[in-house]
Chains A and B, each alone.
Chain A
């Protein structure tokens, strides 16, 4: 089994009066997009800053592609891209000049070509000549994302990348992250807006008060939660469908016109069996969706909601 691209072991970060990150262990493999979820103050940003080397760790180790932060910080810098939750830009430089600064710093080959690519990836090609101070917050956010992508890092740490983006920007960001995932990049992305992360994260790590509450693939987490929230819609035989549901380990059944939502206690096989029963009994099922697989549901069930 190959070593994970990002491995955080027993990470602890202390601030005066508070343990910001406490004994955090997390591994993220190549091609994983891992959502770091938690309420404000959970320690997401501190974790990212500690992983990138901007925050001093009390204990623990961070490895990127086998290189340890404490021993080989230079190797880490070449493999890691960090996008902070605010937009540090040179106001008096144009978008293109801003990227040129970092392209030179990273010694990126074929600088201008790569800058063009990154501007295109972040939908800023038209703004390449605009001064950074003229850009909106969302555009600055995208520019900083472009800067992070410039050296083509193996591991990306994105701290609240969508916080300043409009709905269209968020959709584009989602597409971009999926592209990165397909390209085998490892992405650790934090947010407290869970709908932002749904759809492209295949892993999640839930933090609360500096501690990791749980982590794993979305499916694993859904199973760990035990009871799944399901949603079903049908076109006919509603009464019959309800009868079937009531007798099959279903709890908290809420009926609606031509459908219902319920919590299911069994495993995946039992759930498949339930769907099969409905179909065999002649119910025309038009939608069968496990809302227990989405991050919001997992987060709410994880017990980490006290601070929300």
Chain B
């Protein structure tokens, strides 16, 4: 079906046009024309501006155009799409559409392209003015083309994510909060080590900045990190291609999830294998970006071409990001007890093997294997001397994932709707409270009891990093083993709760 015959798209287009697009496009035009007039003023009277060349002036004015485009199309469009979908879902319109013979993919396409049309028009106006700025500023046309492709691909990528968020959030207001949090969170570490942070390629911060570099960045220490091309496990790759590749691969899984959620709203959006592949891609891509720093000899910095002297604790940050990503994947993969109960009712089989097959516990082990393997690439060449560091970090991953899954499922079973509050409470107690107590009582040893500490401290032992509280790996290994005790206790409570639930479920005989 042509998109112009897609009823969802046509209706969204109607709705966007009904609420007015002209004023928005005129605002975009005025912003763009103001910047263009600035460039024209410089070209006619260069002495009154502080630019060295028309190219420099062109870059500055075009960078503003890109900034506004990102603000409008990516942030504005993202929020609008997720909110429209969440609102329509709450109003029952999505169900009405779902009951029609439209294919789920057609519904997804309609919501993907329809709601952000106003932002698209504004962005098109800005892009057209940006082209004039690039031409007048004597900048290469490829700069315009590549930046616009990156903006468009990011808008599509995030648009798909927005559709998925709109399909899963419980309350429409969350649909606006989640994108905002994601957009703030992703580039949080952009400025620490730009070339090594995956978030700078998922949202193409690095490729866009890098496109403005024609060699002069390398000489300026403050922006040196934005110069050159990144490496993945030592293979140099174009930042634009890396961004596009990541967005396409992850976008493929988002598409599948959105279509699945539209077709069967009762199912989880991601299948386990999809979540595992996504986690694996992200974990390996991130470790691959940093691989050049140690080239498998962690904690000894490689003598290669890298001029790594930043004191940022790279690997601990990535370790925390891995824990966060794994937590999100596990939260999605963890079943609602009700679903397992219904399945037990359906089959008449309600035993622990069923629970294990549905619980996210085995999935936690898969994530550990993937996260551990990705981390192993950093110390593979020197494992004989660094096995304790690796064991602590991997053990920490296992501890954290197991405790999170057991805690989440236990709280869902025990507290029902109040589960999220109790999970937050216990995560706070296990992860954050030790740091607070360490600060209050000036006793750093207490902070090491945190569930986050062992891995972070072990991986902070890199040569280039300053002392962020690194500790003896053997003592950290003992802490990891002690934390397994928490997992074991939780496992007993978790098993009892499941048994209690299933005992009720199988009391009802299955249908004939």
Contact = CB atoms under 8 A, between A and B. Distances in A.
A159 B338 CA distance: 26
B511 A12 contact: yes
Interface residues of B, number: 30
B418 to A, nearest CB: 13
A147 B96 contact: yes
Pick the 6 closest A-B CB pairs, nearest first: A88-B92, A105-B100, A104-B7, A56-B266, A59-B511, A105-B7
Interface in A98-131: 101-102, 104-107
B341 A14 contact: yes
Which of B10, B11, B18 is the most central at the interface, judged by chain A CB atoms within 10 Å of its CB?
Answer: B11
A15 B266 CA distance: 12
Interface string B1-44: 00001011011001100110000000000000000000000000
Contacts of B92: 84, 86, 88
B161 to A, nearest CB: 24
Contacts of A97: 11, 14
A294 B10 CA distance: 47
Interface in A15-51: 15-16, 23
B510 interface: yes
A102 B15 contact: no
A60 interface: yes
A279 B11 CA distance: 66
A92 to B, nearest CB: 5
Nearest to A104: B7
B318 to A, nearest CB: 39
A244 to B, nearest CB: 53
Interface in A222-277: none
Interface of A: 10, 12, 14-16, 23, 52-54, 56, 58-60, 74, 77-78, 80, 82, 84, 86, 88-90, 92-93, 97, 101-102, 104-107, 147
13 contacts: A10-B511, A14-B338, A60-B511, A77-B100, A84-B96, A88-B91, A88-B95, A93-B15, A93-B18, A101-B7, A102-B7, A102-B96, A104-B7
A11 to B, nearest CB: 10
B11 A74 contact: no
B169 to A, nearest CB: 18
A90 B100 contact: no
A54 B97 contact: no
A58 B505 CA distance: 12
A102 B342 contact: no
Interface string B475-512: 00000000000000000000000000000000000111
Interface string B291-320: 000000000000000000000000000000
Contacts of B346: 58-59
A contact face: mostly helix, strand, loop, or mixed: mixed
Contacts of B45: none
Interface string B107-122: 0000000000000000
B416 interface: yes
B1 to A, nearest CB: 10
Contacts of A147: 96
Contacts of A92: 14-15, 18-19
Which of B7, B10, B345, B416 is the most central at the interface, judged by chain A CB atoms within 10 Å of its CB?
Answer: B7
Contacts of B100: 77, 102, 105-106
A89 B510 CA distance: 40
Contacts of A74: 101
Which of B11, B95, B96, B341 is the most central at the interface, judged by chain A CB atoms within 10 Å of its CB?
Answer: B96
Given A60-B511, A97-B14, A54 B101 contact: no
B235 interface: no
B19 A10 contact: no
Contacts of B19: 92
Nearest to A105: B100
Contacts of A102: 7, 96, 100
A24 B81 CA distance: 40
B338 A16 contact: yes
A60 B510 CA distance: 10
A106 B95 CA distance: 14
B93 interface: yes
Contacts of A101: 7, 10-11
